Amino acid sequence: MEKNKLNGMNQVDPNIRDEMLAELFLDQMLNNFKKSKIFEEIDQSLKNKDKETFFRLTEELKSVS
34, 64 Cβ separation under 8 angstroms? yes
pTM: predicted TM-score of the whole model, two decimal places = 0.71
State residue 7's pLDDT score: 60
pLDDT at residue 12 above 90?
A: no
pLDDT digits (tens, 9 = 90+) for 18-60: 999 999 999 999 999 999 999 999 999 999 999 999 999 999 9
DSSP of 38-62, one letter per residue? HHHHHHHHHHTT-HHHHHHHHHHHH
